[in-house]
Amino acid sequence: MRKVWDIHGGIHPLENKDQSNQLPIEFAGIPEQLVFPLSQHIGAPAVAIVGVGQKVLKGEMIAEAKGLVSVAVHASTSGEVIAIQDNPVPHPSTMSAPCITLKSDGKDQWIEHQGINNYLNLDRTELVNHIRNAGIAGMGGAGFPSAVKLSVRGEQTVETLIINGTECEPYITSDDCLMRERADEIIAGIEILRYLINPMKETLIGIEDNKPEAIAALNRAAEGTAINVVSFPTKYPSGGEKQLIQILTGKEVPAGGLPGDVGIVCQNIGTTVAIYRAIAHGEPLISRITTVTGNACDHNTNYEVLLGTPVSYLLDHSGFHQKKCSRLIMGGPMMGFTLENSNVPIVKTSNCILAPTVDELPPPTPAQACIRCGMCAEVCPASLLPQQLYWFSRGKEYEKLEDHNLMDCIECGACSYACPSNIPLVQYYRASKADIREQKQDAIKAEQSKMRFEARQERLDRQEAEKEAKRKARKLAAEERARDNNNPDPIQAAIDRAKAKKASVKSEKPAAENATESLDRARLKEVLANVEKRLVTAKEKLKQAEQQGSDNVEAFRTAVEKTNSKYLKTKQELITFNAVNPALSDSSSMPAEKKILTGDAAQDAIAKALAKRDAASSMTDEERLQNAVSAVTKRLQKAQQKLAEEQRQEGEHIDLLTNAVAKLDLKLADADAAYQQFQNNNHD
């Protein structure tokens, strides 16, 4: 006898299995209409590959798997597809979901199919593909795609393969009957699994000791193989995957981990049969064993049911009394869910239809206050603290719920069963689990939204910066163009001017050749005039530049200074020359300004200013100050006149003019003060 371990907690509800396991498995028959939900498993729903009106044969694929974690759906009898639409499906939500409806033709005609004679010659991946195409999902209850579980995983080696024949929930006997009647198929299926998984250590079938016939049958069938049939004391919920692993191996699957983490793979008894039929006979998963039981049915037994058969069809076969039934349950009394509608179909995970009377399974009494008895903690198979979880759940303290390992709850219902106050504890846990999952998803989505928002903001900023740079470049280019239009090519202009000058000098030359002296003087005069001309132009340019606020103001200013110094130097030279040759000196050596007076107003003004400066330099300080006062007075008078005129006409510039007058007033006061001070100083 092999050693088995115990799990924490657990309960011993009435088994109620004898009602349904007395008779052999019956074939339920072919209903007129079958409904195939596209989602009968965990993962992405399958995608329909048939059209309405299409004739299909038994075993033909009608919906294919979408993605890796998904399972195909096959027609369970021959007939015609009459609808692909939303229908009520067996689910605690009582919602509708996409389904394919098939009208059977009664012929039950198989599609051509063929088993694999010797699967040992086949590659493992190919074999897994066969299982995938056969549409096999775990038949214990969760419906996890079997092919995914069996896929070759990287480095992980499997020590132990466990086949779950526990069937710990009350009332359900489908696995029990399957083990009694089809032990050989089960063992053959396990051999296929052993070939696929290659467990290094052992292969175990775990069965509770309340099924002696099943144990005996399997022991007989397993003789001569490496498969061990292990029985252990009956207790709910030893059939939970993690619980069974602990019972059989003493190993605990870590919180949030998978059996693979401790080198174990678990499969359900029903799944082994389905795999056997898929490999040995080439038959996809189109039927399963379902228990129909409860006192509201006269005939309690196990049926071999075609998938898609309506629950009502099965109930009709079993002498169901609607009036006696308190509620219809799919699954067992502990973990099953109420069916609101008996027209939902049997799916791959439907192991039991329970139709209890009111006496048998009375409606839940109202919950009373928690008396903190601690019974729930005593029975919890996952060693959690259900009472604490209950309080946190009611207070929505999700962090604390997670700290107390709510996610390790297997929702077995033992705590609710034990609760003397009838608190629906599992419901609280289910709701809180959903809340926590939702919160996590929201957090992920928020993070994603934030990233997208920030990326967008960055992009907008970048685009704005680029636009700004372009705008600046355009503005600069426009300015450049404007300047070029005012002075078309300055270099060319300079060259032209130089040429013109040369030509003029050439033409004047003969006249100046009278005498060397006069020639020299003439040359000097000419140079002087030239320099003066240049000075005037330079000044003009400077003024222009200043007005336009050009960058070259500095350069122009230096040029003016240089030209000015040259002018002074030349003038000095001429004066020296005249001094040396006084006879020849004439009035022409006097400031040449008057001579070069032109019609140009600007040049006139400059010449005037120069004259004034010369005059000013010869004035005494007193005169200068007097002049300044009189000039400012004059300007003030003028400004006042203008202001008066503007006021009369109510022009726009009154403000400006008033301002100007005020400024001039100040200036006049300043000038007056300076003059007074000067006079005072002189008198002292």
Point out which residues bind another protein (CB under 8 A).
39, 89, 91-93, 95, 97, 366-369, 393-394, 396, 424, 427-428, 430-432, 434-435, 437-439, 442, 445-450, 452-453, 455-456
Shortest Cβ 445–another protein spacing (Å): 8
Shortest Cβ 183–another protein spacing (Å): 36
Distance CA 380, CA 241 (A): 15
Q: Identify which of residues 195 and 391 has a Cβ nearer to another protein in the complex.
A: 391
Q: Identify which of residues 291 and 350 has a Cβ nearer to another protein in the complex.
A: 350
Q: Identify which of residues 122 and 370 has a Cβ nearer to another protein in the complex.
A: 370
Q: Identify which of residues 232 and 390 has a Cβ nearer to another protein in the complex.
A: 390
Shortest Cβ 452–another protein spacing (Å): 4
Strand partners, 86: 98
Shortest Cβ 329–another protein spacing (Å): 16
Token duo for residue 29:
């028959």
Distance CA 545, CA 556 (A): 8
Burial 234-253 (b: 16+ CB within 10 A, else e): bbbbbbbbbbbbbbbbebeb
266 known member of a binding site: no
Q: Indicate the pairing of strand 55-56 with strand 352-354.
A: unpaired
373 known member of a binding site: yes
Contacts (Cβ under 8 Å, ≥6 apart) of 227: 187, 190, 194, 203, 204, 205
Q: Identify which of residues 202 and 397 has a Cβ nearer to another protein in the complex.
A: 397
Q: Identify which of residues 430 and 642 has a Cβ nearer to another protein in the complex.
A: 430
Shortest Cβ 442–another protein spacing (Å): 7
Shortest Cβ 54–another protein spacing (Å): 25
E runs forming strands in 182-339: 202-208, 227-232, 264-268, 287-293, 301-306, 328-330, 337-339
Shortest Cβ 421–another protein spacing (Å): 9
Q: Would you say 357 and 393 are in contact if contact means Cβ atoms under 8 Å apart? A: no
Shortest Cβ 159–another protein spacing (Å): 34
| DSSP secondary structure letters along 476-488 | HHHHHHHHHHHSS
Q: Would you say 134 and 116 are in contact if contact means Cβ atoms under 8 Å apart? A: no
Contacts (Cβ under 8 Å, ≥6 apart) of 97: 37, 38, 39, 45, 86, 87, 89, 91
E runs forming strands in 331-389: 337-339, 352-354
Q: Identify which of residues 21 and 432 has a Cβ nearer to another protein in the complex.
A: 432
Q: Identify which of residues 371 and 615 has a Cβ nearer to another protein in the complex.
A: 371
- Candidates 539, 130, 272; CA nearest to 531 is 539
Distance CA 334, CA 347 (A): 19
- Candidates 430, 391, 393, 387; CA nearest to 411 is 430
Token duo for residue 580:
């040396």
Distances (CA, A) of 645 to 649, 651, 653, 657: 6, 9, 11, 10
99 known member of a binding site: no
Q: Identify which of residues 452 and 499 has a Cβ nearer to another protein in the complex.
A: 452
**CB-CB neighbours of 101 under 10 Å:** 19
What burial class does residue 624 get, using C-beta atoms within 10 Å of its C-beta: 0-12 exposed, 13-18 middle, 19+ buried?
middle
Q: Identify which of residues 401 and 524 has a Cβ nearer to another protein in the complex.
A: 401
Shortest Cβ 385–another protein spacing (Å): 19
Q: Identify which of residues 449 and 647 has a Cβ nearer to another protein in the complex.
A: 449
Distance CA 451, CA 194 (A): 47
Token duo for residue 322:
């609607």
Distance CA 45, CA 41 (A): 8
Q: Identify which of residues 448 and 572 has a Cβ nearer to another protein in the complex.
A: 448
In the 8-state DSSP scheme, what is residue 279? Answer: I
409 known member of a binding site: yes
Q: Identify which of residues 97 and 529 has a Cβ nearer to another protein in the complex.
A: 97
Shortest Cβ 392–another protein spacing (Å): 12
Q: Where are the alpha helices (DSSP H) in 581-653?
A: 601-618, 621-649
Contacts (Cβ under 8 Å, ≥6 apart) of 88: 94, 95, 96, 341, 343, 344
Shortest Cβ 44–another protein spacing (Å): 9
Distance CA 30, CA 25 (A): 15
Shortest Cβ 424–another protein spacing (Å): 5
Shortest Cβ 369–another protein spacing (Å): 5
Distance CA 73, CA 286 (A): 8
- 335 backbone dihedrals φ, ψ, rounded to 5°: -115, 0
Distance CA 652, CA 186 (A): 108
Distance CA 603, CA 599 (A): 8
370 known member of a binding site: yes
Q: Identify which of residues 434 and 469 has a Cβ nearer to another protein in the complex.
A: 434
Token duo for residue 161:
């393969």
- Candidates 534, 606, 596; CA nearest to 567 is 534
Q: Would you say 272 and 195 are in contact if contact means Cβ atoms under 8 Å apart? A: no
Shortest Cβ 170–another protein spacing (Å): 22
Known binding-site positions: 370, 373, 376, 380, 409, 412, 415, 419
Known binding-site positions for [4Fe-4S] cluster: 370, 373, 376, 380, 409, 412, 415, 419
